[in-house]
Amino acid sequence: MAEMSDSNSDKTTIIQQAIASCCGAIITSLFVTPFDVIKTRLQAQSNPFPKGKCFVYSNGLMDHICVCENGDSKAWYKKPGHFKGTLDAFVKIIQIEGIKSLWSGLPPTLIMALPTTVIYFTCYDQLSEALKSRRGKDDEHIPVLAGSLSRFGSVTVVSPLELIRTRMQYRQLSYKQLYRCISSKVATDGWFSLWRGWSSTVLRDVPFSAMYWYNYERFKKMMCKEVGAHEPTFFIAFTSGAASGSIAAVITLPFDVVKTHRQTELWEGETLKISQRHCTSTWAVMRKIVAKNGITGLFAGVIPRLFKVAPACAIMISTYEYGKSFFSHLNEKMNQRP
């Protein structure tokens, strides 16, 4: 990432990188979550979700599948409201329900999103440093390799946890019941069943990360050179993050559409007891979408995805860079003390 100082002792430690990414994740989710809460509430208002219906909820860090519950209207997305649009919804929710309602549904998703984000960003920095010492600082392939490997690792770790979290959320299982449920699933379908949907997530997230970090590092270097800065300012990191996130989001959109399609189909099938054909490949789902909606079907929702991804990437990377810069300067001061 940024070259904060030439001295190794002034560089940020793993713990400091983890703290910086954790702070970045919290700030990102606090800014982005209200927009997705509003979007979901508007969606539920115009087309109420029936029992077993799924929708994708995002806190700016991760996408999560929410399975609609039956019966009572206590669920945050089922609260009544007569909203004319996004701004009207913001104002009315704050006035009637209180400002906390804009962050409904955030706590359970943060439990997974925070550690995953910390692992991802810390691994990226550590891999970058290791590759730079082997291949040289100016190797342009380093961001691609480090970004791909760190995302591959975090997706693989979190995939079974996402499956477990969704089951707990929908069926309200105790840990004992959850253990029995997972044991029977593993006994029937094998261990790999816990990674169902992993391939479509990898196909979206790994290329996204490779493109994101490659473009981010290039934009950051160009802008630093343009203004004569030794390290990226908050504005440089913010702009580079937004631009690189937008490019990666558009190019990987077909895989995002497939991932959402597969996940919602899986959970709706399970909750509504619809028999499904097993092992539907990513390419088969793509062909199905193209046959039904044409090639444009693979790029459905490009504008909403950009509105969500660009600010999330910009806020996350700029706060992360700022955090690392803060710790780097702190280390420098500590090392200069007699």
Q: Where are the domains of the chain?
A: 228-269+278-319
Q: What's residue 172's pLDDT?
A: 56
Task: Calculate mean pLDDT across residues 317-330.
Answer: 93
Sequence-ordered alpha helix ranges (H) in 172-197: 175-189
Higher confidence at residue 333 or residue 167? 333
Q: What pLDDT does residue 231 have?
A: 83
User: What pLDDT is recorded for position 1?
Assistant: 42
Distance CA 162, CA 40 (A): 20
pLDDT over 90 percentage in the chain = 31
pLDDT band at 319 (very low <50, low <70, confident <90, very high): very high
Q: What is the pLDDT of residue 73?
A: 55
For position 211, what pLDDT does the model report? Answer: 96
Quote the mean pLDDT of the chain: 82
Residues 6+ apart with CB under 8 A from 295: none
Q: What is the pLDDT of residue 273?
A: 60
Please give the C-alpha separations between residue 36 and each of 56, 77, 96, 132, in angstroms, as whole numbers.
Answer: 9, 11, 19, 38
**What is the rounded distance in angstroms from the CA atom of residue 183 to the CA atom of residue 177?**
10
Provide the pLDDT confidence category of residue 283 given band limits of 50, 70 and 90.
Answer: confident
pLDDT in tens, 216-253: 999 999 999 999 888 889 999 999 999 999 999 999 98
Residue 187 vs residue 257, higher pLDDT = 257
Longest CA pairwise span in the chain (Å): 71
How many CA atoms within 13 Å lie on the side-chain side of 278?
4
